[in-house]
């Protein structure tokens, strides 16, 4: 009869850690935005995007401004191009992109989906207080009338240095029933005066809230490891 070997605490820790890591790693999604660094000079109007998610999916919709190379003493954070926005005469100057996330329906409708979004901001400098934000809106269908809510704003008050890019970011649970996201970057018009607000290196993904079992495995692995030492 063969002897049975009892796993050592070290092997148990390794097995638990690998299982937990695999569980959590399998929940991450790819970047959802098209042309996130504005390297392709293709865009449309904000109204086109907001009134026709399907027809303008993955296309930047800009209120006032456009995609530009280095300008006004500001160099793109990466690559050759960046987004430049100017005063639209209202409260904020904004740019949008609509994204179909129906392929994530199972995760979203489990109530465990989180959207994570960020962007880099800069102005032509010489003043402080430029106010920028990133936001994600949630929709149950491919039209603005189906809005379920939004992520809340990740906001930023910029410094006066055009050589530094600064990041605003948000992370928010996605409402059950969401099939479309609209990503938004904006500057408060009063805060940039007659200057240009620049945006670069936008980002948005969907991740799962780690399952309680995975968190428990990581905790148990750490506990066993401490006991071993």
As given in the structure block, the two tokens for residue 181 are: 């996201």
Q: Say if 85 falls within a structural domain.
A: yes
- In the beta sheet, which residues pair with residue 199? 83, 121
Q: Say if 151 falls within a structural domain.
A: yes
**How many domains would you assign to the chain?**
1
Q: Say if 40 falls within a structural domain.
A: yes
pLDDT in tens, 91-114: 999 999 999 999 999 999 999 999
Q: Are 156 and 100 in contact (CB under 8 A)?
A: no
Q: Are 87 and 68 in contact (CB under 8 A)?
A: no
Residue 77 CA to residue 58 CA, distance in Å, equals: 21
Whole-structure pTM value: 0.81
pLDDT score at 30: 73
pLDDT score at 211: 57
To the nearest 10°, report the CA torsion of 101, 105, 110, 116.
-10
Q: Say if 1 falls within a structural domain.
A: no
* Structural domain that includes position 104: 19-228
Q: Tens of pLDDT along the chain (229 residues)?
A: 444 444 554 444 444 333 443 333 344 557 899 999 999 999 999 999 999 999 999 999 999 999 999 999 999 999 999 999 999 999 999 999 999 999 999 999 999 999 999 999 999 988 889 999 999 999 999 999 999 999 999 999 999 999 999 999 999 999 999 999 999 999 999 999 999 999 999 999 999 987 554 444 445 445 445 545 4
pLDDT score at 214: 46
Q: Are 147 and 170 in contact (CB under 8 A)?
A: no
Residue that is written with structure tokens 């039209």 in the block: 143
What CATH number corresponds to the domain at position 29? 2.60.120.260
Q: Say if 9 falls within a structural domain.
A: no
């Amino acid at each position: 009869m063969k002897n049975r070997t009892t796993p050592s605490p070290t092997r148990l820790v390794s097995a638990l850690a690998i299982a937990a890591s695999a569980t959590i790693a399998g929940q991450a999604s790819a970047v959802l935005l098209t042309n996130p660094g504005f390297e392709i000079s293709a865009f449309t109007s904000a109204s086109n995007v907001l009134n026709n998610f399907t027809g303008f999916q993955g296309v930047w919709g800009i209120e006032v401004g456009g995609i530009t190379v280095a300008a006004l003493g500001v160099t793109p954070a990466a690559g050759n191009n960046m987004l430049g926005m100017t005063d639209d005469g209202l409260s904020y100057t904004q740019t949008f992109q609509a994204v179909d996330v129906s392929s994530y329906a199972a995760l979203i409708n489990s109530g465990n989906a989180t959207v994570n979004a960020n962007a880099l901001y800069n102005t032509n400098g010489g003043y402080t207080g430029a106010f920028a934000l990133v936001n994600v809106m949630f929709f149950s269908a491919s039209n603005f009338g189906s809005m379920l809510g939004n992520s809340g704003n990740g906001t930023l008050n910029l410094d006066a240095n055009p050589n530094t890019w600064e990041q605003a970011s948000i992370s928010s649970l996605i409402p059950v029933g969401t099939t479309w996201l609209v990503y938004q970057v904006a500057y408060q018009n009063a805060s940039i005066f007659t200057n240009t607000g620049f945006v670069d290196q936008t980002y948005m993904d969907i991740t799962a809230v780690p399952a309680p079992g995975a968190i428990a495995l990581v905790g148990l692995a750490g506990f066993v490891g401490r006991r071993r030492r």
